[in-house]
Amino acid sequence: MIRFENVTKRYADGTTAVDNLSFEVAEGELVTLVGPSGCGKTTTMKMVNRLIEPTGGRIFVDGDDISATNPVELRRRIGYVIQQVGLFPHKTVLDNTATVPHLLGIKRSAARARAAELLELVGLDPSVHGGRYPEQLSGGQRQRVGVARALAADPPVLLMDEPFGAVDPVVREHLQNEFLALQKSVRKTVLFVTHDIEEAVRLGDRIAVYGQGTIEQFDAPAAVLGAPATPYVADFVGADRGLKRLSVTPIEPGDLEQPPVVHLDDPLPATLPGWAVVLDRDENLHGWISAGQAATARGAVREHARRMEARLPVGASLKQAFATMLQHDAGWIAVIDEAGAGRFLGVLTPARLHEALRRSTAADARDIPRDEVELDTVSGR
């Protein structure tokens, strides 16, 4: 969808902002551009909608050389979200969101109806927020309106320049979660500029790590964290890149242990090796019981089962798993069917979590599936 061919941007004072850049972004892919201030990532993004013109090379959007496209027409079919949002202070939220459809000739009523749909999509009730002005919104709400406005004309490409950088960390994480959920449904081709490697890792399908006007590594987040291509990338992503990698490594069925299992209508077993998971008749997770209960109590399992709060769906990140263990002071978490039915698949222990991270790193380094990795252990097993 977006293609750079040997693109250079050199200013009159001799400064080279972008040097012979070539890369592609596939349709529906979210690519994060990350690097320190002044590295050329924002310049790269602004050349896509011709806010900055390249000195050399060519840029293609959906197969068209943008140098042959009218800049105004080009920008009307590319969504653009910036850190300062840029809402019109004299227009209501609904009219701000309807701006681009109206400029494209869509009737005002239809443009406002489209705007109302998009406000709902980004979590703002148009009946509550539509008639307000930007100054009456919180910073997070203004960012949501900025995203809605960028999507109003249903553009195939979305450019985002540190859109969540001006809000506090709690709101920022919430906005990131909302945007990931939104991207799953709208599947736009996105270039997302950030200076924060954790944000880049969390959001991007791939990451472009910038040096000075060049891309040092362009790869999946797990690969950038697990196998930095250069010392510069290793230094940029940080010595704690193993911890960062937890956020991009999913729980897989092969990571799980299979503990003893009992069912709600079973009589309490006489003995248990520590504890057992309790399931209902449909194999859905209900809770757990301890060996102490089994040894001293009588009756059916359902009368003594405890609810299992430490649970996650398969496919959740190892970071979520680790956080859940800490939150509930749990020695393991139950993992259930990703479809959300609650069907029990197994448990993830701290030891298995560590193994999963090691397998993921080794699999990327050797370019093999994770379940084919054999790990060396202290005992040699």
**pLDDT digits 0-9 by tens, 88-125:** 889 999 998 988 888 878 888 888 898 898 898 888 89
50 and 114 fall within a common domain: yes
| CATH at 308 | 3.10.580.10
The answer to whether the pTM exceeds 0.95 is: no
Least confident range of 110-114, 161-165, 167-171, 302-306? 167-171
199 and 269 fall within a common domain: no
Q: Is 331 helix (H, G, I), strand (E, B) or coil?
A: coil
| CATH at 47 | 3.40.50.300
Q: Is residue 380 part of a domain?
A: no
218 and 272 fall within a common domain: no
53 and 148 fall within a common domain: yes
Confidence of residue 340 (pLDDT cuts 50, 70, 90): low
d(CA 286, CA 305): 8
Q: How far is CA 204 from CA 28, 184, 234, 259, in A?
A: 12, 12, 18, 35
221 and 103 fall within a common domain: yes
43 and 168 fall within a common domain: yes
203 and 325 fall within a common domain: no
Owning domain of residue 198: 2-240
Q: Which of 240, 271, 292 is the last residue of a domain?
A: 240
What's the rounded mean pLDDT across residues 62-83?
90
**pLDDT digits 0-9 by tens, 68-78:** 999 988 988 89
Q: How many residues does the chain have?
A: 381
204 and 257 fall within a common domain: no
pLDDT at 377: 59
pLDDT at 259: 92
d(CA 18, CA 21): 7
201 and 52 fall within a common domain: yes
pLDDT at 28: 94
- Number of domains the chain is built from: 2
Least confident range of 117-131, 189-203, 288-302, 309-323? 288-302
Q: At residue 298, does pLDDT exceed 50?
A: yes
pLDDT at 15: 92
Q: At residue 378, does pLDDT exceed 70?
A: no
d(CA 92, CA 95): 5
120 and 143 fall within a common domain: yes
Q: At residue 225, does pLDDT exceed 80?
A: yes
330 and 295 fall within a common domain: yes
Nearby residues of 116 by Cβ (< 8 Å), 6 or more positions away: 94, 126, 130
pLDDT at 303: 86
Q: Is residue 22 part of a domain?
A: yes
305 and 168 fall within a common domain: no
Average pLDDT of the chain is 88
Q: Is residue 345 part of a domain?
A: yes
